[in-house]
DNA sequence: TTAAGTGCAAATTCTTTGCATCATA
DNA sequence: TATGATGCAAAGAATTTGCACTTAA
């Protein structure tokens, strides 16, 4: 279940709409192609225009407006597939739920401890840390996640 | 509920056993003192000797050996209090559960994507990033969390 | 003695799964 | 038309809560 597709290089998937049916198991058969369903399209479209790093429930609520019979499990199943395809990335932190966004490549997040808002941060990826760590500890380091916590502009004012 | 105690500077709480009943609401009354219960002691003792960044369930299983009638909700309630006191810190990532450790001050983690093991990482805290970010984005930045993902030494061999 | 803490059971919340049906490639 | 995807309901898993009882200060 884990290796039925190839991860796609990030620079190939920066724009929405590109078809990503990458096959692995058998490049001859028509099996294991991802289908282009309305539900999947709507999820991607919403993530494309949203800056809010929505949760699965929030996505569900939005899609429901267009597709009233959509189910939450469809949202979850699609998010899992889209993340495996490399089109969507997820962020978990102290809360016990996950937030999703389009995969924009390497970047970091700022999270407001008051209003919970998630923002992107303008900071160059610290890629050299990975190799530095790998050398020091004799590990294979694939990636890292850096998240800042504090108060956003709005919540500073309110205080 | 959120402001009934004062966070304690990390260098004061590096050793186990120091009493942290810091009062805020009313420094005259005897209210809002934390009590030194067996359950709370056992949790701290276990975290003190464990390197494994255990989950609440794992802590529960261990404490139960000494205190068979202990309940999982007691573990959770204590972990919440201890984290607010600054004596314990928690780590959430892609899994939908939380791992706990004694608060050792600023440090980073490496998580093995295969066996899920959490290790500490020998890397100086990148404190200047906080102020850099605060300046650029006009934010208040209190702290950050940096976690590396990859394969630990053990899992490299197995492969 | 009194308010913080506990144990137990039930409730919440997020996420996953089984299965019959639907619809894309 | 074959198989991936969906909707629905039910199951799982982590965490929280209500309440009567216990216990540390």
B1 has a pLDDT exceeding 60 = no
pLDDT score, position B3: 32
pTM equals 0.84
Average pLDDT over residues B139-159: 92
B9-47 burial, b at 16+ Cβ within 10 Å, e below that, comes to eeeebeeeeeeeebbeeeeeeeeeebeeeebbebbbebb
Output the pLDDT for position A33: 86
How many angstroms separate the most distant Cα atoms in chain A? 62
CA distance, residue B127 to nearest chain A CA (Å): 11
Angle at B54 between CA A144 and CA B101, to 5 degrees: 70
CB B89 within 8 A of CB B83: yes
Could you read off the pLDDT of B80-110 as tens digits, one per residue?
999 999 999 999 999 989 999 999 989 999 9
- Convert the pLDDT of each residue in B26-35 to its tens digit: 344 445 689 9
The whole-number pLDDT of residue B159 equals 65
Our separate counts of H helices and E strands in chain B read: 5, 5
Rg value, chain A, Cα: 18
Quote the CA–CA distance of A116 and A17 in Å, as a whole number.
30
User: So what's the pLDDT on residue A159?
Assistant: 65
Residue B89 CA, nucleotide C4 C1', distance (Å): 22
For A27-47, what is each residue's pLDDT tens digit?
A: 444 456 899 999 999 999 999
Our measurement of the distance from residue A88's CA atom to the centroid of its chain's CA atoms, rounded to an integer in Å, reads 3
Asked whether A5 and A31 are in contact (CB, 8 A), the reply is no
Give pLDDT tens digits for B105-144.
899 999 999 999 999 999 999 999 999 999 999 999 999 9
Which 3 state secondary structure label does DSSP give A31? coil
DSSP H or E segment with residue B142: strand B140-151
- Closest partner residue to A110 (CB to CB) among B92, B139, B148 is B139
User: Would you tell me how many other CB atoms lie within 10 Å of the CB of residue A79?
Assistant: 20
In window 18-47 of A, residues with CB < 7 A from nucleic chain C are 30, 33, 35-38
Q: Which residues of chain A have pLDDT under 70?
A: 1-32, 159
Biggest CA–CA distance in chain B, Å, is 62
Please answer yes or no on whether A137 and B122 come within 8 Å at the CB atom: yes
Q: Is the CB of B21 under 7 A from strand D?
A: no
Distance of alpha carbon B146 from alpha carbon A144, whole angstroms: 7
Pick left, alpha or beta for residue A29 (phi over 0 → left; psi -120 to 50 → alpha; otherwise beta).
beta
What's the pLDDT score for residue A21?
A: 44
Contacts of A139 in chain B (CB under 8 A): 110, 148, 150-153, 156
Interface size, chain A vs chain B, as Cβ–Cβ contacts under 8 Å: 111
Find the chain B residues whose C-beta atoms sit closer than 8 A to any C-beta of A.
90, 92-98, 110, 113, 119, 121-123, 126, 129-130, 132-134, 136-153, 156
Average of per-residue pLDDT values in chain B? 84
Paired with B91 in beta bridges are B99
If DSSP states are collapsed to H, E and C, what string results for B98-137?
EEEEECCCCCEEEEECCCCCEEEECCCCCCHHHHHHHHHH
The separation, in Å, between residue A73 CA and nucleotide C17 C1' comes to: 10
| pLDDT above 90 for B41 | yes
Alpha-carbon torsion (A75, A76, A79, A81), positive or negative? negative
């Amino acid at each position: 279940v884990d290796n039925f597709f190839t991860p796609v290089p990030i620079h190939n998937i920066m724009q929405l709409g590109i078809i990503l049916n990458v096959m692995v198991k058998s490049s001859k058969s028509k099996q294991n192609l991802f289908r282009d369903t309305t539900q999947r399209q709507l999820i991607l479209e919403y993530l494309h225009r949203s800056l809010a790093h929505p949760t699965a429930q929030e996505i569900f609520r939005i899609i429901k407006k267009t597709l009233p019979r959509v189910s939450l499990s469809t949202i979850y199943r699609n998010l899992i597939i889209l993340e495996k395809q490399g089109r969507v990335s997820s962020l978990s932190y102290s809360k016990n739920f996950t937030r999703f966004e389009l995969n924009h490549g390497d970047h970091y997040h700022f999270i407001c401890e008051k209003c919970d808002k998630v923002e992107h941060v303008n900071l160059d990826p610290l890629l050299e840390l990975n190799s530095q760590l790998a050398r020091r500890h004799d590990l294979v380091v694939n990636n890292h996640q850096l998240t800042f916590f504090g108060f956003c502009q709005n919540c500073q004012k309110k205080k």
